[in-house]
Amino acid sequence: MLRSETLFGKRETNSPNSPFSANNNLTQPGVSNVSKTATPTSTSSSGSQPNNNSGSNEMGSKLIVGPNIKLKGVEINDCDTLVVEGRVEATMDSRVIQIAEKGAFKGSAEIDLAEIRGDFDGDLTVRQKLVIYSSGRVSGKIRYGKLVIEEGGQLSGDVQVGGSAEQRELLQAKTA
């Protein structure tokens, strides 16, 4: 927990209303002064707690770039799902990318599943399935395992089947 003497390297005086004071007036009369948000270590390992954590672990890590946010010049790794509602200029290796209608991604991405409702421009390698919805526009060097394009969706550039190295090797073996 934070202590007043270490907060920003200063020692603050404990006023009667300070949350760091042992005798603060923030608690109700007759109620002990123990913080209600603090939980002992032993209760955090109860049977119900790990079940909640395992459910959130199944979802994995998720990065959401909200509307009117611009993320530029980054490398995104170890992110299970990237949701783009704003603008992203990056390089990424992930599991899933979801680009919203007003979202835009520029750069290179190697992913398992892509759901495009907005704009993608750059190098896109989709190991499994690329889905372009009616409002989606994808351009650049595109590699995919499976392709679904809803009526109105746009796909342009250097487009080839073969989202993973294994699929490309199979295609080369069949043509040889």
* CB 141 within 8 Å of CB 160: no
Please count the residues of the chain. Answer: 176
Helix, strand, coil distribution of the chain in percent, nearest 5: 15, 45, 40
Closest CA to 110 of 98, 96, 99: 96
* CB 157 within 8 Å of CB 139: yes
Residue ranges of the domains in the chain?
61-175
Look at residue 21 in the predicted model and tell me its pLDDT.
44
Look at residue 78 in the predicted model and tell me its pLDDT.
86
Report the chain (176 residues): mean pLDDT per 10 consecutive residues. 48 47 45 37 37 46 94 90 96 95 96 97 96 97 96 95 62 59
Q: How far apart are the first and last CA of the chain?
A: 65
Tell me how far CA of residue 88 lies from CA of 16, 32, 40, 110, in angstroms: 48, 50, 41, 15
Look at residue 69 in the predicted model and tell me its pLDDT.
94
Look at residue 148 in the predicted model and tell me its pLDDT.
96
